[in-house]
Amino acid sequence: MAQDEALQSLQRTIWQARLPLEIRLAASECRTFDGADPYLIAFPRLSYLPLLLPRLHTFFSPSLIADAETISPYAGYFTFDNVPLKWHLPLGLLYDVYVVSTQDARPDPASSDPLPFKLTLHFSADPDKPMLPDASPVVLHDSFINSVKEADFLRSGTAKPIMTLSAQESKALWTSTQDNDLPTFTRIHGSLVPTPGQMRHIPLRLYLPSAPDQDPSKAQVKVLQSHIPPTVAAAGTQNLPTAVRGAPAGQPQTLGTALHQLVPSLFPSRRTPILATPLLHGAPVPMSTHLEELARWGCYADGWLSVVIAMRG
């Protein structure tokens, strides 16, 4: 009981976490020589940047060189250090990838204040960068639900749980994410998660930022994803099918055993982070943490356990 209360408290902390943002209009699109005033907000880490676009469009309309009425708010996109940010990733995950994971790699981390998260807003496409699709409400909703379905299929081995949700429940799952409504989210998401001992695979994604480059616009993020069972194969069963290896007889899969399996070059030890540190929601995670419990209580709103790998300085 005490452990459940601690895990629920952890989940509440994750949902309550907000990230200070300083958003400025791109200088090339601003009619004011010294730039428009920035838009300042503390935004939920679990939420998505495109949800801010309508209010940002209104805020910056008087400063736009182009006629604001001819520009769709959802044509806007964000950059950090000249790198276009993927709009379908949660804000906190973006921050961990581009800021938190790079702090140890910087020559003088103290010289660069990581907060607020300073972003640049663009409404005009850059001819030197690939076109980004408009993050309209329908497109953003569909992207979120598709991610939820994929995570659900990995956990259950079937899409039946998500497919049995009513249209109202499916909509409420997305709305609760927008409104930062944990009770509603917990009620619906809880119906998708198998009972203890019944989970087939852990919906785990690893984000490995590239090393700092002279040209930040070329920065890449590698994403690793694999079928990780919630238990580790018992001795002598390594050559059996995954479904058998993941049987209850195995030891609980920890974050350390999963990382060692997926990226052994970065995690040669299953217990100690020697070369890199796993980050979840901006904080280092002990290698001994049971992966199934982490997936139940520490996942993002789309059901994915998105772990950022930070190289140790």
Would you state the structure tokens that stand for residue 220, as one six-digit string?
A: 């890449």
Per-residue pLDDT of 217-228, as tens digits, reads 455 789 999 889
Q: In which residue are the tokens 């982490």 written?
A: 294
- CA distances for 129 relative to 74, 85, 179, 292, angstroms: 18, 12, 32, 39
- Predicted confidence at residue 126, as pLDDT, reads 64
Domain range summary for the chain, segments of one domain joined by +: 15-133, 139-192, 204-229+250-311
Rounded to the nearest 10 degrees, the angle between the axes of helix 167-179 and helix 182-190 is 140
Would you state the structure tokens that stand for residue 65, as one six-digit string?
A: 């060189």
- Predicted confidence at residue 239, as pLDDT, reads 46
Q: How many residues does the chain have?
A: 313
φ/ψ of 254, rounded to 5, equals: -105, 170
- Predicted confidence at residue 227, as pLDDT, reads 87
Of the segments 13-27, 123-137, 234-248, which one has the largest average pLDDT value?
A: 13-27
Asked if 45 and 118 count as a contact pair (C-beta separation under 8 A), the reply is no
The model's pTM is 0.89
100: closest CA among 46, 19, 25? 19
Q: What is the mean pLDDT of residues 164-169?
A: 92
Would you state the structure tokens that stand for residue 108, as one six-digit string?
A: 């003088």
Top pLDDT among 247 and 139 is at 139
Query: Which CATH fold topology does 15-133 show?
Result: Ubiquitin-like (UB roll) (3.10.20)
The reply to whether domains 15-133 and 204-229+250-311 share a CATH topology is: yes
- Predicted confidence at residue 312, as pLDDT, reads 79
- Predicted confidence at residue 221, as pLDDT, reads 84
Would you state the structure tokens that stand for residue 71, as one six-digit string?
A: 């520009």
- Read off the DSSP letter of residue 198: -
Rounded to the nearest 10 degrees, the angle between the axes of helix 182-190 and helix 2-16 is 120
Q: Place 209 in a pLDDT band, splitting at 50, 70 and 90.
A: confident
- CA distances for 33 relative to 36, 60, 123, angstroms: 8, 14, 18
Architecture of domain 139-192: Orthogonal Bundle (1.10)
Per-residue pLDDT of 85-134, as tens digits, reads 999 999 999 999 999 998 765 545 444 568 899 999 999 866 555 556 67
- Residue 261 to residue 255: CA distance in whole angstroms: 10
Q: What is the mean pLDDT of residues 58-64?
A: 95
- CA distances for 101 relative to 39, 98, 307, angstroms: 25, 7, 11
Q: What is the mean pLDDT of residues 230-246?
A: 55
Residue 53 has pLDDT above 90, yes or no: yes
**CATH of span 204-229+250-311:** 3.10.20.90
Top pLDDT among 131 and 153 is at 153
Q: Place 240 in a pLDDT band, splitting at 50, 70 and 90.
A: very low
Residue 71 has pLDDT above 80, yes or no: yes
Q: What is the mean pLDDT of residues 199-208?
A: 96
Would you state the structure tokens that stand for residue 166, as one six-digit string?
A: 């009513």
